[in-house]
Amino acid sequence: MISNQILQSTIDGLKGITRVDLCVCDTEGKALATTFPDAEDHEVTIMAFVDSPADSQVIQGYQFFKVFDEHQLEYILLARGSGDDVYMVGKVVVFQIQSLLVAYKERFDKDNFIKNLLLDNLLLVDIYNRAKKLHIDISVRRVVFVIETKNENDSAALETVKSLFAARNKDFITAVDEKNIILVKELKPNENYEDMEKTAKVILDMLNTEAMTKVHVAYGTIVNEIKEVSRSYKEAKMALDVGKIFYSDKHVVAYNNLGIGRLIYQLPMSLCRMFIKEIFDGKSPDDLDEETLTTINKFFENNLNVSETSRQLYIHRNTLVYRLDKLQKSTGLDLRVFEDAITFKIALMVVKYMNYMESLNN
């Protein structure tokens, strides 16, 4: 469970303090970490020691120790020398490795717990019991961030996020699929949505500049209890989706700031199809040429202001009026009239939503 690098750095550190050479082997005699070169020579001896009932033994100038994890033999430790001092050092190292095993297990358990919590795989009673056992605060404000990376299993991105939040051991960083990194962040009492926006932007900018990867960051609402964390996660996932469909120019999307996209995202497809058929009479706004679409978008951006839109499009006012008249003829909607404009705007958004849902099904 513990990586070989961690074992190596542990025995390197302990050798630096005690000046006793150490080696950690698995139960088949293979050296996992060692401070001396001829560790492989002891394979046969180790196999014999594993089968013996002794917990420690001196063989050929080395102290052999068994390292257990909840009564299960995990490692064999070799300490060079046969004196009492070496025996003592060996016991200390065994204790240290056992503590590491407990810590790693707890971290692993926490990670599993958080994953199951996010995915709604736990009964309410289990949530409270396991949280208590893992020393996770039950009633504290938290928010979930979902970070979608362009590449699957982006280890550089994961490493960057972990390092950014390493100082805060009450935050959890995990992944439930290949493209998303999830941060469950515990909040200080005075932190609010403005702080969440800042955190999201820090994550975005740091992943862009350090991991050099394209990402989208979304976050849910702030929840007060651990049982609500999965809700915040689902909200963040939805915000990510809604952002992709309607706000593709934004890299950070907050669930509490989804605008009209939030409503359209909830519509059943059958209703969408009926609405679009009614508005465009079987045609699709995707059939509109690029020039018309640009004109429409600019007109909306400028709050239906003909003069400003024509100025920004570098066209004569009459050209814009002609284009709007032409659109009115083909759709029956006059974008200069507020009600028609809002119908058209919603129709465009519904079409975007339908296209997105269809692309998921294909």
Partner 1 sequence: MASLSLKNISKVFPNGFIAVKDFSMEIEDGEFVVFIGPSGCGKSTILRMIAGLEDITAGEIYIGDRLVNDLETQERDVAMIFQNYMLYPNLSAYENMAFGLKMRNIGRDEMDQAIRRAAEILDITSILDKKPRTLTRAQQQRVALGRAMAKDPKVFLLDEPLMNLDEKLRCQMRREIKRVQEKLGATVIYVTDDQREAMDLGTRIVVMNDGVVQQIGTPEELYEKPANKFVAGYMGTPQMNMFEARVEQDGKRAVLCFSDHRVLLNEERSAPLLEGGYAGKEIVCGVRPEDIHTDREFVAANPDTRVEAVVQVYEMLGTEVFLHFQVSNTGFITRTGTESEARPGDTIAVCLDTTRIHLFDKSTEITISNR
Query: Minimal distance in Å, beta carbon 306 to partner 1?
Result: 14
198 binds partner 1 (CB under 8 A): yes
- Tokens (6 digits) for 124: 């309410």
- Minimum CB–partner distance for residue 210 and partner 1 (Å): 5
- C-alpha distances (whole Å) from 180 to each of 10, 99, 233, 305, 323 are 32, 32, 12, 41, 43
Map residues 115-154 to x or -, x wherever contact with partner 1 holds by CB under 8 A: ----------------------------------------
Q: Which is nearer to partner 1, 224 or 284 (CB)?
A: 284
Q: Does 274 bind partner 1 (CB under 8 A)?
A: no
Buried/exposed code over 195-217 (b: 16+ C-beta within 10 A; e: otherwise): ebeebbeebbebbeeebeeebbb
- Out of 11, 114, 164, 253, the only residue in the binding site for partner 1 (CB under 8 A) is 164
Of 263, 209, 264, 218, the closest CA to residue 238 belongs to: 218
**Segment contacting partner 1 by CB under 8 A, of 55-63, 263-271, 293-301, 323-331:** 293-301
Residue closer to partner 1 (CB basis): 25 or 264? 264
Q: Which residue number, 73 or 202, has a Cβ lying nearer to partner 1? A: 202
Cα 124 to chain centroid distance, Å, stands at: 24
Residues 21 and 34: their CA atoms lie apart, in Å, by: 8
Q: Report the length, in residues, of the chain.
A: 362
End-to-end CA distance of the chain: 40
Closest residue by Cα to residue 130 from 102, 107, 110, 115: 110
Which of 297, 318, 319, 330 contacts partner 1 by CB under 8 A? 297
CB of 213 to partner 1, least distance (A): 7
Q: Which is nearer to partner 1, 159 or 278 (CB)?
A: 159
Q: Is 48 in the site for partner 1 (CB under 8 A)?
A: no
Cβ burial of 39 (10 Å; 0-12, 13-18, 19+) is buried
The single residue among 172, 233, 246, 280 that binds partner 1, judged by CB under 8 A, is: 246
Per CB under 8 A, residues contacting partner 1 are 156, 159-160, 163-164, 166-167, 198, 201-202, 204-206, 208-214, 246-249, 293-294, 297-298, 301, 312, 348, 352
